[in-house]
Chains A and B, each alone.
Chain A
Amino acid sequence: MRTTMRTTMRTTMRTTMRTNMRTNMRPFRFALASLALTLLFSALPAAPAQAEDIIVSAAASLTNALNAVKQSFEAGHPGVTVVTNYGASGALLKQMESGAPVDVFASADQQTMDQAAEKGLIAAGTRRDFVRNSVVLVVPADSRLGIASAKDLGLPKVARISLGNPETVPAGRYAKEFLESTGQWSQLTPKYILGNNVRQVLDYVTRGEVDAAFVFSTDAQQAGAKVRVVQTADGKTPALYPVAIIAASRKPGAKAFVDYLTGAEAQRILGAFGFKKP
């Protein structure tokens, strides 16, 4: 009995000692490992010398076109990297108001840019219109509802119509203007599926989750064969896209990018994506 107890005690002591040693070692090793990791990660982005990142907040409808412009711009301006941030123009404005470190802002409407100007967010004299777009009514390519014009949206068989939330999404606001001009806006209210940006609306219609949707003609072109354009549906306000440099930006690359965007080469690229000249 006594021997068993002694052995047990000895084993316990040994285990305790070993555990203590291990726990004492652990924080040190952990600190060393995290230090090594920190050094590694801080070294990584520093690799290209004098690199300049310019952050461009742009309307969701510009996604594909601006990615192409970014590539050709970066090819001609080594050392400048364009970081794109796409979203609904209204949501992007909100981000900048809250202090997001943006250098260039491109919105899909004049109203959002006006609000940015009122709030003193954009640098005076840098605002320029660079493209024009138009709104279209689209249906999924395999739609069998036979929607031939916007008038058919009132038919009972049309259950879901998607458009951008008019509060934050310019394409949705233009669509609302259009539906107001045809006198259908309030009558169709129960059918609306509001998207957070125009690309979400496009996604809904390409998946066939909605029966019809209002998107920009450039978005419809992007979706290709998945959607069918029924008709153009422009509101009374033309869809003119303005771009401006943010007042807080101190990067010379921002001006270079805006100049490039309004230049011939970028306009050719944007044209290939279906955008028209302002």
Chain B
Amino acid sequence: MPELLSDSLTGLLVPALVSALVPLALTLKVALTATAGACALGVGAGYALSRRGLPGRDFLDAVCTLPLVLPPTVIGYYLLVLFGRRGVLGQWLQQTFGVSLVFTWQGAALAACVVAFPLVCKGARTAFEGVDQNLEHAARSLGAGECSVFVRVSLPLAWRGVLSGAMLALARAMGEFGATLMLAGNLPGRTQTLSLAIYDAAQAGRDNEAMFLVVLTSGVCVLLLLASGKFLKLSPTT
């Protein structure tokens, strides 16, 4: 019986795990890059949107929220038209840097970044709006510039909100499917993330592989959520 178990372990589980490692690593790479990008853009946009004096604030807020409400295929289509070989930005990137985003993992990261961006932006905006304006004014009255106010007062006070937005963005980026499929395609080993690998396995009738990948994805997501919960709890309360 133990022999049988170890046989089935080495015979079934190990190859399955090895074949799942490539999409898993790729998913993490894509999701982390996308989250980093979404954070950089989202914190800036969230901070700008939290300023009352910003002209056209409601309109800009709607634009920033758009990727959250549009179907991912619509976003994928926009990105494909913009960044494709014949797209305006695609041609510029090709001529200036010799880079093409279509069918590359960077393209997958871009798609996931756009889809995850509103989650950081929304979280950051709410967090920045919650910061006591008197503290910011006090810093200004003590001679701090806008940049310094942001880095030393607003961001430290709002970072929990920003972080929870970032965690949601990471989770969203991990599960991105529609926009990724349209921009980056479904190339095994290159752009095939876990969600695409599951789709592929299910379509081709490789049920065992699909089931394994589904369980693996669920496990990774639960771990991420637990870790982020711990992380947020550990941080000092504001």
Contacts and interface: CB of A to CB of B under 8 A. Distances in A.
Interface string B87-127: 00000000000000011000000000000000000000000
A271 to B, nearest CB: 31
A193 B203 contact: no
A94 B102 contact: no
Contacts of A195: 185
5 contacts: A90-B203, A193-B103, A194-B186, A196-B181, A209-B80
Contacts of A26: none
Given A207-B85, A207-B86, A196 B203 contact: yes
Interface string A203-230: 0100111000000000000000000000
A168 B84 CA distance: 26
A165 B200 contact: yes
Interface in B54-87: 80, 84-86
Given A168-B203, A196-B203, A208 B86 contact: yes
A88 interface: yes
Contacts of A168: 203-204
Contact of A97 (B80, B85, B102, B205): B205
A119 B204 CA distance: 15
B187 interface: yes
Contacts of A93: 205
Contacts of B86: 207-208
Contacts of A265: none
Given A90-B204, A193-B185, A207-B85, 15 more contacts: A90-B203, A90-B205, A94-B202, A94-B203, A94-B205, A160-B103, A165-B186, A165-B204, A167-B204, A194-B186, A194-B187, A196-B181, A196-B186, A207-B86, A208-B84
A7 B188 CA distance: 71
A117 interface: no
Contacts of A97: 205
Contacts of B85: 207-209
A194 B184 CA distance: 11
A65 interface: no
A199 B205 CA distance: 21
B187 A88 contact: no
Given A94-B202, A167-B204, A209 B187 contact: no
B217 to A, nearest CB: 20
A168 B103 CA distance: 20
A207 B80 contact: yes
A199 to B, nearest CB: 13
Nearest to B199: A196
A91 B210 CA distance: 14
